[in-house]
Amino acid sequence: MQETLAKVVDGALALEPPSRDEALWMLSYPEERVTELVAAVSRVRYEFFGNRVKLNALVNMKSGLCPEDCNYCSQSKISTAPIQKYPYLGKEEVLGRAAKAREAGAKRLCLVASGRGPSGHEVSRFAETVREVKSRYPELEICACLGILKDGQAETLKDAGVHAYNHNLNTSEGFYEKICSTHDYEDRTRTVEKAKGSGLSPCSGALFGMGEADEDVVDVAFALKAIQPDSVPINFLIPIEGTPLAGQTDLTPQRCLKILALFRLVFPDVEVRIAGGREVHLRSMQPLGLLLANSIFAGDYLTTTGQAAAKDLEMISDLGLVVESAKERTLPRERAGAVTLKEYSG
């Protein structure tokens, strides 16, 4: 066991991802020995990201009212969860949230809107808001997450000052039809490609705990690797009452750590962010998660609340880690097609 672990860690340090068999082996690592896995894989985290933690803040720009049927989502047309529903937030509200995000040390502001994809009018309005935010907080990286993009929309966002576009693959191609019937996996990959093609930094990750098998976890990890994202958010399902996945509870803190360890090895020098479900599923093991991932969301998620920002900062400092400043590079070295570094050094 130790030999295989040393081999996959050495491979990642040389930027070689594990094989499919090694990836599956990692997911079957004995739960009671997961700290051994974390300790070994943390070498990769320290090698490429040192002791820095990138903080990100989320703003739910438009909530609920979505015609899609993603089973995990409280904002879908089939969800009966009692969430707030509202159309796009106004400029002043977003500026206020941006100010709070900067105060909390966030380097990236993720502006997320529910829905299949934005209308032309919504994109224009969004672009106007981004221009205002960027003129007041030029150092803040703006990431847009607006769903499936139509031709030309990514370019409009880029022109307005949007830095990155988030569109998660969520799960494997084979498992996708089990979680959504109103759009398919290819709609997702196409949007990531559109964002990349327009020069936006691609942000794409996954959601675990929906009943997927180890093979699906590995499939989505390698599918994401193939599209070369600059940042990879890892979500753990919060089974919200009123959604079809309300009763789903197959995640343990150890399982989450194994998934994070796998993603660290598949993406040794790419931002891996612990996103939704951190507090619920990692629980007291959250600090171990930060020995694998180099980025987290500070504050609340889309329709659920997160840990208080002060507690996150305390956890980071107790680990001997520091919050990454706006001037520092997240990606440690230039990679082919990596938009982020080119922009930083440009």
Q: Which stretch binds ligand SF4 (CB under 6 A): 25-33, 63-71, 91-99, 330-338?
A: 63-71
For residue 114, state whether it binds ligand SF4 (rule: CB under 6 A).
Answer: yes
CA–CA separation, 294 and 304 (whole Å):
22
Per the listing, tokens 């089939």 go with 78
Task: Work out the widest C-alpha separation in the chain, in whole angstroms.
Answer: 57
Nearer to ligand SF4, 54 or 188 (CB): 188
Q: Which of 334, 252, 261 is nearest to 293 (CA)?
A: 261
Annotation says 273 is catalytic: yes
Give ∠ CA 106-34-38 in degrees, rounded to 5.
Answer: 45
For residue 156, state whether it binds ligand SF4 (rule: CB under 6 A).
Answer: no
Q: Pick the catalytic residue: 52, 97, 108, 143?
A: 143
CA–CA separation, 200 and 162 (whole Å):
7
For residue 212, state whether it binds ligand SF4 (rule: CB under 6 A).
Answer: no
Q: Which stretch binds ligand SF4 (CB under 6 A): 114-122, 127-135, 208-216, 308-316?
A: 114-122
Using CB under 6 A, pick the residue from 76, 171, 231, 294 that binds ligand SF4: 76
Least distance CB 341 / ligand SF4 (angstroms): 29
Q: Is 178 helix (H, G, I), strand (E, B) or coil?
A: helix
Question: Half-sphere exposure of residue 164, counting CA atoms within 13 Å on the CB side?
Answer: 28
Annotation says 73 is catalytic: yes
Using CB under 6 A, pick the residue from 66, 232, 238, 274 that binds ligand SF4: 66
Q: Pick the catalytic residue: 70, 145, 180, 256?
A: 70
CA–CA separation, 337 and 76 (whole Å):
34
Least distance CB 68 / ligand SF4 (angstroms): 4
Give ∠ CA 230-53-74 in degrees, rounded to 5.
Answer: 70
Annotation says 256 is catalytic: no
Nearer to ligand SF4, 79 or 330 (CB): 79
Least distance CB 245 / ligand SF4 (angstroms): 12
Q: Which stretch binds ligand SF4 (CB under 6 A): 80-88, 112-120, 224-232, 289-297?
A: 112-120
Which residues, 6+ apart, have CB-to-CB distance to 45 below 8 Å?
264, 291, 292, 293, 294
Using an 8 Å Cβ cutoff, are 51 and 321 in contact? yes
For residue 122, state whether it binds ligand SF4 (rule: CB under 6 A).
Answer: no
For residue 75, state whether it binds ligand SF4 (rule: CB under 6 A).
Answer: yes
Using CB under 6 A, pick the residue from 41, 70, 203, 259 that binds ligand SF4: 70
Annotation says 143 is catalytic: yes
Task: Count other C-beta atoms under 10 Å from residue 241's C-beta.
Answer: 11
Q: Pick the catalytic residue: 45, 52, 66, 256?
A: 66
CA–CA separation, 64 and 303 (whole Å):
9
Give ∠ CA 66-71-75 in degrees, rounded to 5.
Answer: 30
For residue 68, state whether it binds ligand SF4 (rule: CB under 6 A).
Answer: yes
Q: Pick the catalytic residue: 45, 97, 108, 110?
A: 110
Using CB under 6 A, pick the residue from 17, 105, 118, 147 that binds ligand SF4: 147
Q: Which of residues 270-309 bind ligand SF4 (CB under 6 A)?
A: none
Annotation says 70 is catalytic: yes
Using an 8 Å Cβ cutoff, are 217 and 262 in contact? yes
Q: Is 239 helix (H, G, I), strand (E, B) or coil?
A: coil
Annotation says 203 is catalytic: yes
Nearer to ligand SF4, 66 or 270 (CB): 66
CA–CA separation, 59 and 207 (whole Å):
19
Q: Which of 111, 97, 188, 200 is nearest to 156 (CA)?
A: 200
- The residues binding ligand SF4 (CB under 6 A) are 66, 68, 70, 73, 75-76, 114-116, 147
Catalytically active residues, by annotation: 66, 70, 73, 110, 143, 203, 273
